[in-house]
Amino acid sequence: MTDTQTAPGGVFRLGGDLPVHRLGYGAMQITGPGVWGEPSDREGAKAVLRRAVELGVNLIDTADSYGPYVSEEIIREALHPYPADLVIATKGGFVRTGPNKWIPVGRPEYLRQEVEMSLRRLGLERIDLYQLHRVDPKVPVADQVGELRALQQEGKIRHIGLSEVDPDMIEEAAKTAEIVSVQNLYNLADRKHEAVLEYAESKGIAFIPWFPIATGKLAEPGSVLENSAKEHNASPAQLALAWLLRRSPVMLPIPGTRSVSHLEENVAAAGISLTDEDFKALSAL
């Protein structure tokens, strides 16, 4: 693999004005077990982040709840002062009470506090993409998104996104602020959010699939996925990423890893060209 990939996966413009390379990096895994506490190798986590930027990745996705706070802190330690084209997307709206425990909180005062703290931890004056990590069912959507809109008007947020929503929720949120991205679970093995992807395409909204390289039983020995991967001299995970990039021009996969070698393998997936037959066969799985 070459030392630098100039634009992994091509380019997408968030909100029409913020160009990012379509294959990004998800920084959830640079924390401890259960997305809780410190990673076992903090310096190794920073090395992964620096290598990602070297390889041309310029979209890093994180959240205040990763750690909590640990992921954002490590990103700053590793990369600040940031390259001019680096987009750090973060999220708020979860309270953490322990490993693998996630409690949605969308009260406006809480969201404002978390935006202010993310700005401080990341060393930013403005967050390029701030995503509501979950819609809190106990708080009106207009109040949650409205607070982010107020912070946007104050110059602390550039663009607003949502996570784990359906088309109706996006429509509801869009009454209060422009929504430029949606981040839902989606991968080759789990496509239950197909309607959300199609909605995003129709509106020109970025679709950021989390858990993008899950393959499960699709990668079993002798499977279509494994055989196709062998034909491309690639791994099943690489084929899964290549399929996502081919699936839609609004797709922005953010595979995460703690390993530099695994990171390099993921980024190399952007260079795999699937034939029409390959794409159809994988889509039919």
Q: What tens digit of pLDDT does each residue of 53-101 get?
A: 999 999 999 999 999 999 999 999 999 999 999 999 999 999 999 999 9
Q: Are 211 and 221 in contact (CB under 8 A)?
A: no
* Residue with tokens 């959010």, as numbered in its chain: 193
What residues make up the domain containing 64? Answer: 11-214+248-257
Residue type, 201: E
Count of domains in the chain? 1
**Mean pLDDT calculated for residue range 202-211:** 97
260 burial (CB, 10 Å; 0-12 / 13-18 / 19+) is: middle
Q: Are 51 and 1 in contact (CB under 8 A)?
A: no
Query: What φ, ψ does residue 195 adopt, rounded to 5°?
Result: -65, -35
pLDDT of res. 216: 80
The reply to whether 223 falls in a domain is no
Reported confidence tier of residue 4, pLDDT bands at 50, 70, 90 = very low
The reply to whether 98 falls in a domain is yes
- From the list 25, 66, 186, 199, the catalytic residue is 66
SS (H, E, C) 15-75: CCCEEEECCCEECCCCCCCCCECCCCCHHHHHHHHHHHHHCCCCEEECCCCCECCHHHHHH
pLDDT digits (tens, 9 = 90+) for 130-141: 999 999 999 999
pLDDT of res. 3: 42
Spatial CB neighbours of 79, under 8 Å, sequence gap ≥ 6: 49, 50, 53, 60, 86
Q: Are 129 and 161 in contact (CB under 8 A)?
A: yes
pLDDT digits (tens, 9 = 90+) for 139-186: 999 999 999 999 999 999 999 999 999 999 999 999 999 999 999 999
The reply to whether 53 falls in a domain is yes
The reply to whether 220 falls in a domain is no
Element (H, E) at 228: helix 224-231
The reply to whether 1 falls in a domain is no
- Phi/psi class of residue 246: alpha, beta or left (left: φ > 0; alpha: ψ in -120 to 50)? alpha
Q: Is 69 annotated as catalytic?
A: no
The reply to whether 184 falls in a domain is yes
The reply to whether 187 falls in a domain is yes
CATH of the domain at 137: 3.20.20.100
Mean pLDDT score of the chain, rounded to an integer? 95
The reply to whether 272 falls in a domain is no
pLDDT at 1 over 50: no
Please tell me the number of Cα atoms within 13 Å of 193 on its side-chain side: 25
